[in-house]
């Protein structure tokens, strides 16, 4: 991938469904008290960073972005939506793993290609590549775990097979600059 401007990747704050282990995909759940605190940490971490401020259109990302950027301080981009997981949306991951072990065999996160009626990783990569190619300057991005992982591997010119490597921590900022990724954490982010 061509040289990209600095990317400040922020996963939305924890939701009730994250805490339960329930998959969200295109569905939504409210932020927890912890999730609101995490968004506040991100706001402090990027307070003085200049750049285009963007968010996924999904509710949990919008609520995080409002806290990070202010209510009218960002642009919504549908390409930043979370990967579609079809009929798995709203289900507990442990239940799916128990009921469909064959779908979860193989490399971590490969099951996203096996979600009935799901988007699939190739389609997500195409969507994310288009987003990245359109950037003309530094970008601060509030999005979702799998979408942000895809943006990261593409921006670092890595194989999609590396999607599961590393974390996409809520409450942190994952800075991609000059082909390197580092995680910025708030001093209160201790766990």
pTM: 0.96
Relative to beta strand 7-11, strand 52-55 is: unpaired
**Mean of pLDDT values over 79-83:** 98
Question: Contact, 112 vs 118, CB < 8 A?
Answer: yes
Cα separation of 53 and 103, whole Å? 37
Cα separation of 82 and 5, whole Å? 22
Catalytic residue among 82, 119, 144, 174: 82
pLDDT at 42: 98
pLDDT at 190: 86
Largest CA distance in the chain: 47
pLDDT at 2: 67
pLDDT tens, residue by residue, 151-188: 999 999 999 999 999 999 999 999 999 999 999 999 99
12 is catalytic: yes
Q: Average per-residue pLDDT in the chain?
A: 96
Catalytic residue among 12, 14, 119, 144: 12
Q: What percent of the chain has pLDDT over 70?
A: 99
Question: Contact, 132 vs 154, CB < 8 A?
Answer: yes
pLDDT tens, residue by residue, 28-67: 999 999 999 999 999 999 999 999 999 999 999 999 999 9
Q: What percent of the chain has pLDDT over 90?
A: 96
Confidence class for position 191, pLDDT limits 50, 70, 90? confident
pLDDT tens, residue by residue, 92-144: 999 999 999 999 999 999 999 999 999 999 999 999 999 999 999 999 999 99
188 is catalytic: no
Query: What residue ranges define each of the domains in the chain, with the CATH number in brackets?
Result: 7-184 (3.40.50.1240)
Phi and psi at residue 125, to the nearest 5°: -60, -40
Cα separation of 69 and 67, whole Å? 6
Cα separation of 116 and 124, whole Å? 15
pLDDT at 1: 59
Cα separation of 157 and 4, whole Å? 11
């Amino acid at each position: 991938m061509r040289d990209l401007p600095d990317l400040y990747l922020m996963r939305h704050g924890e939701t009730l469904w994250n805490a339960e282990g329930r998959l969200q995909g295109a569905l939504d759940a409210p932020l927890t008290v912890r999730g609101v605190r995490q968004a506040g940490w991100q706001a402090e971490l990027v307070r003085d960073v200049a750049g285009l401020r963007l968010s996924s259109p999904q509710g949990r990302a919008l609520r995080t972005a409002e806290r990070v950027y202010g209510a009218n301080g960002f642009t919504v981009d549908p390409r930043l939506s979370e990967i579609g997981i079809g009929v798995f949306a709203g289900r507990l991951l442990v239940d799916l793993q128990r009921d469909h072990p064959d779908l979860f065999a193989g490399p971590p996160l490969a099951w996203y290609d096996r979600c009935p009626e799901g988007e699939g990783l190739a389609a997500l990569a195409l969507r994310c590549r288009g987003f990245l190619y359109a950037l003309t300057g530094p970008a601060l991005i509030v999005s979702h775990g799998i979408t942000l992982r895809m943006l990261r591997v593409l921006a670092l010119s890595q194989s999609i097979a590396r999607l599961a490597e590393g974390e996409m921590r809520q409450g942190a900022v994952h800075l991609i600059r000059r082909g390197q990724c580092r995680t910025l954490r708030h001093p209160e982010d201790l766990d």
